[in-house]
Amino acid sequence: MTVASQEWLTESEAREVAHQARTLIQTVERVILGKTEAVRLMITGLLSGGHLLIEDIPGVGKTTLARALARAIGGQFRRIQFTPDLLPADVTGSVIYNQRTGQFEFHPGPIFANIVLADEINRATPKTQSALLEAMEERTVSVEGASHPLPHPFLVIATQNNIEMVGTYPLPEAQMDRFFARVSLGYPSPEVEEQILASRQLRSPLDTLEPVLSLEQLEQLQQQVRRVYISPAVRRYLVAVVNATRHHPQIALGASPRASLALMLAAQANAILSERHFVTPDDVQRMAVPVLAHRLILRSDSQGKIPRAEQVIQEILKQVPVPMGEET
């Protein structure tokens, strides 16, 4: 495949970016054992510049994965423990009167960091959850009428327990739509769990984890991802997949144009991780479930059962015609 425009990523550039991304994956996997697919998906989101939601039961390593990823890329890291009594100002910061100077001063909250871990985000009230909306979309925080820019790069990694668990609040639809992708870990196999115990007997591997990328290098990689070529035919296929979620009889609310952009970036990042400088329909199909599933609101069937979003998306992928041959 040839690309005329010099703006597109070359094959050699794609291999170099893939090498750096694999180094990042291998570094995180020193801490998170046996979860290669989840780690790869996290790196895909990171390269795409999208916020990530890790959803699973307690105790499977959600927070550890977020910390490992943050350490591997360096930069300023903050952890916010979301609880029912957490206030929006506890996240964004507040304006406080300074008696010595006689002026009101803005005191930044923990959201002002490169990597923000929103731990157990669905344990806070919807009002506090919504404090992240502007930060995640605009990369700014508005307090008392003044707008404050966040550091670059800026990434929110949120963890949430299953919504059926006691003391949790489902995230609003607008909040879910701002998460680039949803990641699930699941239980490790018995063999991997034994390795985890052995590796942590004396100390945690997280204690010795060193950055393998600088923040400047990360921003460069994110720019390179956007240069991965996507043909008009593959772009039309991607739009057709997203559009199908808006007309499916089992879906009450389909994916938004923001989801289309996220899926395109995810497909570009997946192509890079496969050492390709162009996107194929396979990239779109591989990233459709993690990027789209958490954004959908489903209808119950005739028996009152709500289908799984992952199954509905797989059904859509089977129905939408795939471009073939020279079209891609």
Question: Which tokens sit at 245?
Answer: 């979620």
Residue 261, pLDDT score: 96
Closest by CA position to 65, among listed 204, 222, 217: 204
Residue 205, pLDDT score: 83
Residue 4, pLDDT score: 44
Give me the tens of pLDDT residue by residue for the chain, a chain 328 residues long: 444 445 899 999 999 999 999 999 999 988 888 888 889 998 999 999 999 998 877 777 778 888 888 889 988 889 999 988 999 999 999 888 888 888 888 899 999 998 898 988 888 888 888 888 888 988 999 888 888 999 988 999 888 876 555 667 778 788 889 999 998 887 888 888 888 888 877 788 888 888 999 999 999 999 999 999 999 999 999 999 999 999 999 888 899 999 999 999 999 999 999 999 999 999 999 999 999 999 998 887 756 677 788 999 999 999 999 998 655 6
- Terminal-residue alpha carbon distance, the chain: 9
Whether residue 169 contacts residue 129, with contact meaning beta carbons closer than 8 Å, is answered with yes
The residues spanned by each domain of the chain are 32-206
Rounded to whole angstroms, the Cα distance separating 55 from 62 reads 8
Looking at residue 258, its amino acid is R
User: Tokens 């100077």 — which residue?
Assistant: 101
Question: Which tokens sit at 13?
Answer: 């550039």
- CATH of the domain spanning 32-206, picked from 3.40.50.300, 3.30.413.10, 3.40.50.1390, 3.10.20.340: 3.40.50.300
Residue 225, pLDDT score: 94
Residue 271, pLDDT score: 95
